[in-house]
Structure 1
Amino acid sequence: MRKTVLGALFISGLIFLPTTYAATQFKPEHVSVEKEIKPGPNVFIIDQSWAGSSMITVIGADNLEAKGNISTGLIAQFGLSKDKKSLYTASVYPKRIVWGDIDAVVQKFAVNSLSLDKEIESSPKMAQAAAYVNTFQTSATDKYAFVQNATPAASVSVVDIASGKALLEIPTPGCWGIYASQDDNKFSSACGDGTFSTYVIAKDAKNYTAHKSEKIFDTDDDALFITAQRDGSKLMFTSFKGNMYVLNDTGETVTLADKFNYTKDIEGNWLPGGYEVIGYNQPNKLMFVTMHPDGKEGSHKDGAQEIWGVSMDSHKVVTRIEAEEPISLAVSQTKAPDVYTLTDFGTVVKYTFNGGKFEGTKVHEAEEMGSFTQMLMVDY
């Protein structure tokens, strides 16, 4: 009797099932992609891959919330156009993923949509190296892209962005880094003998001339970080020992305009360390530097325990704030500077600096931006 009742209940349930499903019809979810990212200032973080696609993540500068990402080739470099509306990358695409013949390309993306606008073939000699601001640059008005090569002999490929053609390869023996001048047809490179070489592209873009400076720094006693910041005609570098070098590249050769030490009389043997170790806020003539204590030979890539703000006018440290081992930073061009720091394990931290004393405050943090993060940029 019990089995009969259960069977009847089961059958009656089946009878009512179609009615229940009919009342709640299935509505498929449609997945779509936004045509443009949310408006507002951005932070760009590169997660460089040596075994697959590199990725550039875009987050909002205000709250560090994700907006989107760009996928590009292996061992990518990147930079922003002067108007911050375009993002350029240089990367390689090996035929067999991680080895073999490669296609080296410069790609142009629209920042507002993160979509690919243009792809230009470059030299397969492109340096497969860590991401740095000065291993891939565009010229003063984004006429050319300059790509660092290494075979290991150093050279720079010149790519015409408008025509989409690779124009020429300029040998830069014994020199490394690309420092685009305020003239489209000119860039300089730092050399192992403490000089800078300046290269001027001919008007027909078929040839070039090279001009070597006097010795500016000592590579053994006071080596420079490859990262540079520009303020008009001035190129600014820091050395491993905390000396700030201010160079002028408007002439035929690079010249030393100023040099000062910003660590003297400060206890703790503080030294700069990391990758993108300096970031410049032009409205306040303030250079921010990633600093670590107990510095010594070989500690030049150590993560920072503090961020310092150095006045380029007074040559003094005017602000300091504790940091959590960042290796790179980027700075806004606002009157109250925003500083964004990046660790090699993918954490971005935002600091604001306010008032006449530039008092620093940590305001936001975002984690898991990648597994091999070395460099970031802001567009405001």
Structure 2
Amino acid sequence: MTTYIALSAGHAMAQEFEPERLKNGVSLPADMPRVYVGDFSIASLPDSRVHILDGRNGKYVGVIDSGMGGQFAISPDRKRVYIATTYMTRHTHGERHDTMEVYDADSLRMTGDGALPNKKAQAAFMQNLALTSHDGRYLFVQNATPASSITVLDVQQDNKVVAEVPTPGCYGIYPSQTEALRISTLCGDGKLATVTLDAVGKVTERRVSDKFFDATSDPVYVPGPTFEQRYYFLSFHGKLHRVDLRGATPVVEQSLSFVTDADRKQGWRPGGYQAFTIDERRKRVYVGMHPKGQEGTHKFPAKEIWSVDLGTGKRLARTKSRNAIALQVAKSGPDHLYALDGVTNQVVGYALASMRQVFVSDPVGSAPLQLEAP
């Protein structure tokens, strides 16, 4: 009798059990502020990821597969995520296929794609290697074979490739904030080159700036954020350059150093993969800094985060850092600065008004390098 009762109970429980089913995407609130974390997945390069966190508390809410080293960009209206990536027919080898995939930002479902020339830069996640035009119509993708060029796609017309723009000796993508088919790129001779295209993708103008940095003595980082339709570039020694890339000719407007002589004696230098970000509300720049800097330490995690006035270059505050390798100020939602801990892979949220730590996320991915908070 006891055996019969036990078997009957087990049978009833089996009938009531409902196995978890895989979901086809998620459903994120449209008004939820997000932090996108680009994970290079260095232990398994064909399987990079873009992780999504809730920008208010750092909770994990979703993930997008981004193939082999997939660079990503967010549309200006924050409704779409573009992934420019590579797939091999036999996962790690075979025939190469470069593609651009479109994902809905709320469901994280793929809604479209388009073929790319098999030239996309096989590079670690980095800002300014895939970006949209200011109006969202075009997507620009960095190529390297190793010859450098930029692929231009019309994401409003069947994701069609409009042009491939040769950019010899230059790298990085900096779209004009006023002209949809005008892009600039950073060159090894210390200048910026600006290319203007017509509606069918033909180059109509190509002009260069004055030299504003020396690639041997004080190079600049590729990531370059924008503010008030200007781009900002940070040098390895702590010099901030402001450039106007709206017109056909790039114009260098200002170069200033925020590292004092006393700081320099202690070897304070910027460090990280995304070493600085701009606070538009307060007109400040936040820079990850490390002491005892020297040749080759430009990617070292930050020991401090310095707050610097954009107009004067005066340092306003110093905050202890949890080994930050990427910094990003939220462009919408909470008034937060996000910092990526390069040792623990956690995202740290700071309240900008006080620079008080408000959350530390769980570890994210295996080799996160990039933050975006649109």
Same fold (TM over 0.5): yes
CA distance in 1, matches of 2:14, 2:234: 66
Q: SS of 2:218's equivalent?
A: coil
Rounded to whole Å, the distance in 1 between the matches of 2:331 and 2:4 is: 70
Q: CA deviation at 1:101?
A: 2.4
Q: 1:373 to 1:15 in 2, by over 3 A?
A: closer
Q: Which residue of 2 aligns with 1:7?
A: none
Structure 2, unpaired ranges of 5+: none
Q: In structure 2, do the counterparts of structure 1 residues 295 and 166 end up closer, same or farther at CA, with 3 Å as the change threshold? A: same
Distance 1:343 1:133 in 2: 17
2:164 counterpart residue number: 169
Number of the residue aligned with 1:118: 112
Deviation, structure 1 residue 171: 0.5
Cα deviation digits, residues 265-317 of structure 1 (max 9, x gap): 55333110111111111111111111111111111111100111111123211
Give deviations 1:56-77, integer Å, cap 9, x for gaps: 1111111111111111211111
Which residue of the partner structure matches residue 36 of structure 1?
Answer: 27
1:184-240 CA-partner distances (Å, limit 9, x unpaired): 110100111111111111122244432122212111122111110111331101100
In the alignment, what sits opposite 2:258?
262
Write the distance in 1 (CA, Å) between the matches of 2:58 and 2:334: 18
Q: CA RMSD in A?
A: 1.9
CA contact (8 A) 1:216 1:255 kept: no
Please say if residues 182 and 196 of structure 2, whose CA atoms lie closer than 8 Å, have aligned partners that are also in contact. Answer: yes
Residue 243 (str. 1) matches residue 253 (str. 2): no
Structure 2 equivalent of residue 6 of structure 1: none
Cα drift, residue 245 of structure 1: 0.3
Match of residue 359, structure 2, among 342, 359, 364 = 364
Q: How many residues align?
A: 364
What's 1:47 paired with?
39
Scaled by the length of structure 1, what TM-score is found?
0.90
Corresponding residue of 2:229: 233
Moved more, 239-248 or 96-105: 96-105
Q: 1:263-282, aligned counterparts within 5 Å?
A: 263-267=259-263, 268-282=266-280
2:15 to 16, 26, 33: 26
Percent identity, please: 30
Give, in whole Å, the separation in 1 of the partners of 2:121 and 2:204: 21
User: Bigger relative contact order, structure 1 or 2, given CA contacts below 8 A and separation 6+?
Assistant: 2
Q: Does the 8 A contact of 2:210 with 2:252 survive in 1?
A: no
Residue 288 of structure 1 aligns with an amino acid whose one-letter code is Y
For residues 22 and 110 of structure 1, do their structure 2 counterparts lie closer, same or farther at Cα, with a shift above 3 Å needed?
closer
Cross-structure match for 1:285: 283
CA drift at 1:20: 4.2
Contact conserved, 2:273 with 2:370, CA < 8 A, in 1?
yes
TM-superposed deviation, 1:24 = 5.2
Structure 2 match to 1:296: 294
Corresponding position: 1:210 with 2:206:
yes
Uncovered stretches (5+) of structure 1, i.e. residues with no partner: 1-11
Alignment partner, residue 319 of structure 2:
321
Q: In structure 1, how many angstroms separate the alpha carbons of the residues matched to 2:235 and 2:5?
A: 80
Residues 344 and 371 in structure 1, CA contact (< 8 A), matched pair in contact too: no
- Going from structure 1 to structure 2, the CA distance change for 1:189 and 1:23 (only over 3 Å counts) comes to closer
Measured at CA, do residues 99 and 315 of structure 1 come closer, stay the same or move farther in structure 2, by a change above 3 Å?
Answer: same
Q: Following the alignment from structure 1 to structure 2, what is the Cα–Cα distance between the partners of residues 124 and 378?
A: 29
**Offset, 1:21:** 4.8
Which protein has the larger Cα radius of gyration, Structure 1 or Structure 2? Answer: 1
* Cα deviations by residue, 1:299-355 (Å, 9 ceiling, x for unpaired): 11111001111111232111221112111111113698411111334221111121x
Instruction: For 2:10 and 2:174, locate their aligned partners in 1 and report how far apart those are by CA, in whole Å.
Output: 67
* Amino acid in structure 1 at the alignment position of 2:135: T
